[in-house]
A and B are shown apart, each in its own frame.
Chain A
């Protein structure tokens, strides 16, 4: 009986002790610990896949020859050479000029027109079929027209990039504004907001996450548009470098350029996602389960 009593009183204390000990192992709480753990496992896997790809390149290279697949070390040394002698930096500069200017023009004009169409829904409704028609046409379809109007050089390339990217930005902006939260609009009206205030202080901020995802889509399209412009108009930049290497079957050079393109695309997407997270802080936080 006495033993029984002793056991009973001891049990919760022991349980408390083990719980405390387990917490000490992961001071930030087990949720954060789990997240870090799963991130570490994911990174390990990602490195493994990269190594497997390089090994695959090597195997394909030894079994099928340099033309089918250049050897990884050849690509590496070719990259070093092309960075060192200024070939890649120069091409990168050319591409970034077209990409950057095209994106800036597309995003500013897309947001401005999108806000206009969102603010005047009647105008938006009237223009809707035209916006959709141009948006649904592949950007490449406009190349001949752009060449006739703007020539073959930077202006024409920027025009193509702009044309391809402006519509996703515009459409997302308009959609974000016309889908703005009705409850919040009613709240502001109830406190006597003017139409102007309602638009700029409720509808446009509420559309911000949508605008930002439009920008992210637009940026991805800008990258594609830049390369297409560099291939089909006067060859220049990374696209030009790539097609020249390909045409001469210099597959190591070709791969060196493709790797730069991949890195560029990834960096831009990551950057925009970060911007999206920062500017749309409240939305992201809600999705994270806050």
Chain B
């Protein structure tokens, strides 16, 4: 049913290099994301995950190939939002002020903004910190504000760059649940970058494994686990273990092909 709709994100033969071609970040990469689909990108550090998100967001242009979002080249007025790898909050604005800022950018009426800001801060558990400045928050709390800010604009496409990497296990677990619940209700397309295989499996419908130098697709792994996953934890299912092993095998193969092993272990933790 969803397959018949045109993809909301479509990358075709995309290449991107930096420093006048000295660093080939991404080479000849193609994939589609369907509307409302939750896709994870996994891969070792430096394989171009952040660059891919920036390409989709229209912050950088590809050297070759095309990036289409909603059928058009990405354009900042389209309702897309990014959760950055570091929180990128405006240090001179309060937590509430930071969320208000992007609501203003997206043209929300000033009157409607206030209650919306409150609701979002409640959702990420930071209601009491509305008037605090970012430097008064812990790194994990700042990251949660970054998440609230992206969700505030109710994006059609949500790009997330390792949003939970800096959080403690407990908060991470809670926020994963929150994200899934929200996604279940709003059904925006999500492109979620992570280093964590388990996180990728729990959250996504499809996992794209990338390999580094230059960034290319190594494997595309569909996740056929029952949904909604915020109600039942899939980690006990036999299918989960199989999937995890399959993913690990892909990554292990990458190691045999000459990707430095420390990079992989750094990226994926211990072998199961």
- Which residues from chain A sit less than 8 Å from chain B, CB to CB? 183-184, 186-193, 197, 201-202, 205-206, 208, 281-283, 285-286, 290
Residues on A with C-beta less than 8 A from B81 are: 190-191
- Which residues from chain B sit less than 8 Å from chain A, CB to CB? 57, 59, 76-77, 80-82, 84, 86, 88, 90-92, 101-102, 105-106, 133-136, 153
Given contacts A189-B59, A191-B81, A192-B76, contact A201 B91 (CB under 8 A): no
A-B pairs, 3 with minimum CB distance: A192-B76, A282-B91, A187-B88
A190 to B77, CA, bound (A): 9
Do B84 and A187 touch across chains, with their CB atoms under 8 A apart? Answer: yes
Residues on B with C-beta less than 8 A from A285 are: 133, 135-136
Can you list 21 residue pairs at the A/B interface with Cβ under 8 Å? Answer: A183-B84, A183-B88, A184-B88, A187-B84, A188-B105, A189-B59, A189-B76, A190-B57, A190-B81, A191-B81, A191-B105, A192-B105, A201-B101, A202-B90, A205-B90, A206-B92, A281-B92, A281-B133, A282-B134, A285-B136, A286-B91
Do A282 and B92 touch across chains, with their CB atoms under 8 A apart? Answer: yes
A201 to B90, CA, bound (A): 10
The chain B residue sitting closest to A188, CB to CB, is B105
Partner of B82 from A190, A197, A282, A283 at Cβ < 8 Å: A190
Residues on B with C-beta less than 8 A from A189 are: 59, 76
Do A191 and B90 touch across chains, with their CB atoms under 8 A apart? Answer: no
Do B76 and A190 touch across chains, with their CB atoms under 8 A apart? Answer: yes
Residues on A with C-beta less than 8 A from B86 are: 183
Given contacts A187-B88, A282-B135, 18 further A-B contacts (CB under 8 A): A183-B84, A183-B86, A186-B59, A186-B88, A187-B84, A188-B101, A188-B105, A189-B59, A191-B81, A191-B106, A192-B106, A193-B105, A202-B90, A205-B92, A281-B92, A282-B91, A282-B92, A285-B133
Q: Which of A188, A197, A206 has the most CB of B within 10 A?
A: A188
Do A192 and B77 touch across chains, with their CB atoms under 8 A apart? Answer: yes
Residues on A with C-beta less than 8 A from B90 are: 184, 202, 205
Residues on A with C-beta less than 8 A from B153 are: 191
Residues on B with C-beta less than 8 A from A290 are: 135-136
The chain A residue sitting closest to B75, CB to CB, is A192
The chain B residue sitting closest to A286, CB to CB, is B135
A193 to B103, CA, bound (A): 11
Residues on B with C-beta less than 8 A from A197 are: 105
The chain A residue sitting closest to B98, CB to CB, is A187
B150 CB to nearest chain A CB (Å): 9
A135 CB to nearest chain B CB (Å): 28
A290 to B132, CA, bound (A): 12
A190 to B50, CA, bound (A): 14
B97 CB to nearest chain A CB (Å): 11
Q: Which of B92, B133, B136 has the most CB of A within 10 A?
A: B92
A91 to B48, CA, bound (A): 67
What secondary structure prevails in chain A residues at the interface with B? helix
A279 to B57, CA, bound (A): 34
A197 to B107, CA, bound (A): 12
Do A208 and B76 touch across chains, with their CB atoms under 8 A apart? Answer: no
A189 to B153, CA, bound (A): 14
B191 CB to nearest chain A CB (Å): 14
A281 to B153, CA, bound (A): 28
Q: Which of A188, A191, A285 has the most CB of B within 10 A?
A: A191
The chain B residue sitting closest to A282, CB to CB, is B91
The chain A residue sitting closest to B153, CB to CB, is A191
A192 to B106, CA, bound (A): 7
B137 CB to nearest chain A CB (Å): 10
A277 CB to nearest chain B CB (Å): 14
A187 to B88, CA, bound (A): 7
A257 CB to nearest chain B CB (Å): 42
Do A190 and B59 touch across chains, with their CB atoms under 8 A apart? Answer: yes
B194 CB to nearest chain A CB (Å): 20
Do A208 and B92 touch across chains, with their CB atoms under 8 A apart? Answer: yes
Residues on B with C-beta less than 8 A from A193 are: 76, 105
A208 to B84, CA, bound (A): 24
Do A282 and B84 touch across chains, with their CB atoms under 8 A apart? Answer: no
B103 CB to nearest chain A CB (Å): 9
A208 to B43, CA, bound (A): 40
Do B91 and A191 touch across chains, with their CB atoms under 8 A apart? Answer: no
B117 CB to nearest chain A CB (Å): 15
The chain B residue sitting closest to A192, CB to CB, is B76
Given contacts A190-B82, A191-B76, A191-B81, contact A283 B91 (CB under 8 A): yes
A153 to B234, CA, bound (A): 85
B153 CB to nearest chain A CB (Å): 7
B133 CB to nearest chain A CB (Å): 6
A193 to B80, CA, bound (A): 13
A44 to B260, CA, bound (A): 60
Residues on B with C-beta less than 8 A from A190 are: 57, 59, 76, 80-82
Residues on B with C-beta less than 8 A from A188 are: 101, 105
Residues on A with C-beta less than 8 A from B92 are: 205-206, 208, 281-282
